Amino acid sequence: MSDLSATSDVADVVAKFPAVAAAFAADGKLSQAIGGYRARPQQLEMALRIAAAIRDDSVLVAEAGTGTGKTFAYLVPALLSGGKVIISTGTKTLQDQLFERDLPAVREALGVPASIALLKGRANYVCHYHLERAIADGRFQSREEAGHIRSIARFAKTSKTGDKGRLAAVPEDSGAWAAATSTRENCLGQECPHHAECFVLAARREALAADIVVINHHLFFADVMLRDEGAGELLPACNTVIFDEAHQLPEVAGMFFGSSLGSGQLVDLARDVRLEAVAAAKDYPPLQDAARALEKAARDLRLAVPQENARLPVAQLADNRAFQAALQVLDEMLQDLSRHLQTQAERSEGLASCLQRNEELHQRLKDWRKPEDAGQVRWVEIFSHALALNLTPLDVADIFRRQLEGQPRAWIFTSATLAVGRDFSHYCGELGLGAAATGYWESPFDYAGNALLYAPTGMPDPNHPDYAEAVVEAAYPAIVAAGGRAFVLCTSLRAMRRIHETLEARFARDGIEFPLLLQGVGAKGELLERFRRLGNAVLIASQSFWEGVDVRGAALSLVVIDKLPFAPPDDPVLAARIEQMRKAGKNPFMEYQLPRTVISMKQGAGRLIRDENDRGVLMICDPRLVGKPYGRRVWQSLPPMRRSRDAADVEAFFGTARNSDGAS
């Protein structure tokens, strides 16, 4: 339902946008041109609301349940509007899908002569300059990496776009890409000898000339809002901005409106200084020495913190003398490198660029070491082999709202998960959207007939040391009844590994032969392909599989969620936001933590039913879903499934499923 539910209201809006309405008719252009297309009332209503927002240069926040067809619902009015439109997505996968499949299909169906362009961040395009330097240097981590560089060099000679996504022969995580692409910091700009053939500049020229430009959220904030990468011309020329997967925006905005200094950036700078020094200042050894000293200081900073895969508030490191000493050494090494670069910068564009990067990174370090103000939090993120010093704003609403107050244009925010129940106030508040118009459309799928929400009885408190074992004990009968065909989604990597280990032992004990897959053992795409192909696999995964994963059909018939996905209360950014809200007299749990959990929960639950013929069970193990008053707000925000606490209902459901779809 939506605020267009009254027949007269729909009729009035249809009369104002006849071309949009006609496209979605049962015998309309989409139905005639696109195989398998079905007219849906929800899709038409959403498209009409978007068309009105585009016409009025207004803000619309729209939630559309799975199966509504929200992509077509915004593409049709966008293409028919005749203006310049930016479409920003949450993932490169959806970006590619829009550009390569959905946009061309709808454009052809409508017969609209709109030009389209795809624009990604510069790290996605081969850089001729850095590729050339990497080949000349010849130092790689392995023979495989050296082979990858050669493949990239061949690709760069024949490719029209230089988009690394089109070179499947080199894995996306190969270290060769770091050597063959540029960053904002190490790009030489107009001073580059390969400026005329630059793939990044070519992609930007196409984007500026196109009617519809497909980008992603990271690029939107980096390029358009912060003007960091020189593509700020896009927004002034644009009539409409559409955010798909808009639930990700608050987190991405916080990242870009703050600042970060990573040990990897420092190591990369040291490497580039060495390469540039070999090429242009071989007769000045102190520069090489200073670069090596900076790299050592960056690595020593990581080694000064014993924790791993952790997010720590700066106060927690105040008494860590090794960390404080390493910070001071890093400061001194940046100063020392700057001193040497200043004497050599005129010898090449590359050295001049390294000097500028050095000064920018040094300024970030100085900013991070200052006492934080009330609106920011300083914290450190620790990875296995790296570390990042972060400065994050606690509230992005004011900053984001300023972006909306410039030239009049339409702003569309859409996702399957933006509201708590039907209340959009949490989302609108996070982004400063004020009294934006909202629209809510439920999924057209028959959840009541095709899905079951199961909350097992007898579960211990989620903080109990044996909780992971209890999850396996409760989920095991459901997995067997489903014939495998399950996702087990965990709220932490530790729980994921423990549940995998326990379930593996249980399968071995009972002679169960369902293939057991684990996130991290292989690339995400490969795991999903194996899962679909096997047909009876069980995949144990963590946060990266909670959203953006589409498995249709019987291969995924059971989704088990171990806990309600509350963010850890000791997370430094969350802890600071909670404290800020308390000081303002607000209830951080009800106004911030719970709404974010509901939105995350809806994402995880959304993995289950992906097609109108899908059937399945959503099993939520957390006893707080039923035992706490706020649990009602969680399950009431989920699609309207039948609910049960009886394991026999799960077995009966899958008995019916096997009889109806022929699965064994």
Closest C-alpha among 245, 215, 243 to residue 229: 215
Calculate mean pLDDT across residues 558-564. 97
pLDDT of residue 584: 92
Q: Return the structure tokens found at 283.
A: 């007769």
Q: How confident is the model at residue 224 (pLDDT cuts 50, 70, 90)?
A: low
- Report pLDDT digits (tens) over 39-92: 899 999 999 999 999 999 999 999 999 989 999 999 999 999 999 999 999 988
| Domain layout of the chain by residue ranges | 7-121+202-253+396-441, 126-181, 260-393, 447-661
Task: Check: CB of residue 61 under 8 Å from CB of residue 431.
Answer: no
Q: How confident is the model at residue 356 (pLDDT cuts 50, 70, 90)?
A: very high
Q: Beta strand pairing status for 310-313 and 376-382?
A: antiparallel
Calculate mean pLDDT across residues 204-228. 84
Q: Return the structure tokens found at 190.
A: 């107009």
CA 425/CA 462 separation, integer angstroms: 29
Kind and range of the H or E run holding 24? none
Report whether pLDDT(658) > 80: no
Q: Return the structure tokens found at 164.
A: 């690394």
CA 602/CA 420 separation, integer angstroms: 9
How many Cα atoms within 13 Å fall on the side-chain side of residue 523?
7
- Where b means 16+ CB within 10 Å and e means fewer, 160-174 reads ebbbbeebeebeeeb
Identify which has the larger pLDDT, 548 or 296: 296
Calculate mean pLDDT across residues 25-38. 90
CA 39 vs CA 17, 23, 30, 312, 518: distances in Å: 17, 10, 9, 50, 39
Q: 117 by DSSP, 3-state: which?
A: strand
Q: What is the fold of 447-661?
A: Rossmann fold (3.40.50)
What DSSP assignment string belongs to 53-108? HHHHT-EEEEEE-TTS-HHHHHHHHHHHT-S-EEEEESSHHHHHHIIIIIHHHHHH
CA 44 vs CA 48, 69, 94: distances in Å: 6, 9, 22
Task: Check: CB of residue 103 under 8 Å from CB of residue 214.
Answer: yes
- Give whichever of 119-123, 146-150, 620-624 has the largest mean pLDDT: 620-624
Task: Check: CB of residue 98 under 8 Å from CB of residue 87.
Answer: yes
CA 114/CA 97 separation, integer angstroms: 18
pLDDT of residue 227: 57
Report whether pLDDT(662) > 60: no
Least confident of 1-10, 230-239, 629-638: 1-10
Cα-based angle 305, 309, 312 (whole degrees, multiple of 5): 60
Q: What is the fold of 260-393?
A: de novo design (two linked rop proteins) (1.20.1440)
- Where b means 16+ CB within 10 Å and e means fewer, 552-570 reads eebbbbbbbbbbbbbbeee
Residues linked to residue 380 through DSSP beta bridges, in sequence order: 312, 389
Calculate mean pLDDT across residues 470-498. 96
Please report, as a single letter, which amino acid is at residue 257.
F
Report whether pLDDT(199) > 80: yes
CA 48/CA 29 separation, integer angstroms: 16
Least confident of 86-95, 228-237, 275-284, 320-329: 228-237
pLDDT of residue 331: 97
- Give whichever of 164-178, 354-368, 515-529 has the largest mean pLDDT: 354-368
- Report pLDDT digits (tens) over 594-629: 999 999 999 999 999 998 899 999 999 999 999 999
pLDDT of residue 232: 62
Q: How confident is the model at residue 228 (pLDDT cuts 50, 70, 90)?
A: very low
CA 208/CA 230 separation, integer angstroms: 12
The residue length of the chain stands at: 664
Q: Beta strand pairing status for 387-393 and 259-262?
A: antiparallel
Q: 434 by DSSP, 3-state: which?
A: coil
In terms of Cβ atoms closer than 10 Å to its own Cβ (0-12, 13-18, 19+), residue 423 is: middle
Residues linked to residue 328 through DSSP beta bridges, in sequence order: none
- Which residues touch 471 (CB under 8 Å, ≥6 apart)? 459, 488, 495, 499, 560, 562, 621
Distance of CA 357 to the CA centre of its chain: 27
Calculate mean pLDDT across residues 96-119. 95
Percent of the chain with pLDDT over 70: 96
How does the average pLDDT of the chain come out, rounded?
91
CA 410/CA 54 separation, integer angstroms: 5
Least confident of 225-234, 277-286, 482-491, 611-620: 225-234
- Shared fold status for 7-121+202-253+396-441 and 260-393: no
Task: Check: CB of residue 294 under 8 Å from CB of residue 337.
Answer: yes
pLDDT of residue 305: 95
Pick the CATH number of 7-121+202-253+396-441 from 3.30.1950.10, 3.40.50.300, 3.40.50.720, 3.40.50.10140: 3.40.50.300
- Report pLDDT digits (tens) over 370-403: 987 878 999 999 998 999 999 999 989 988 888 8
CB atoms within 10 A of CB 217: 23
- Report pLDDT digits (tens) over 421-463: 899 999 999 999 988 999 999 999 999 999 999 999 999 999 9
Report whether pLDDT(216) > 80: yes
Calculate mean pLDDT across residues 331-356. 94
CA 351/CA 344 separation, integer angstroms: 7
Helix axes of 263-280 and 321-344: crossing angle, nearest 10 degrees: 30
Calculate mean pLDDT across residues 134-140. 80
Report whether pLDDT(6) > 70: no
Report whether pLDDT(4) > 80: no
3-state class percentages of the chain: helix first, strand second, coil last, to nearest 5: 55, 15, 35
Identify which has the larger pLDDT, 543 or 503: 503
Closest C-alpha among 424, 425, 408, 438 to residue 54: 408
Q: Beta strand pairing status for 85-89 and 212-216?
A: parallel
Place of tokens 């039948």: 642
Report whether pLDDT(661) > 80: no
Closest C-alpha among 260, 298, 268 to residue 185: 268
Q: How confident is the model at residue 229 (pLDDT cuts 50, 70, 90)?
A: very low
CB atoms within 10 A of CB 267: 18
Helix axes of 70-80 and 41-56: crossing angle, nearest 10 degrees: 40
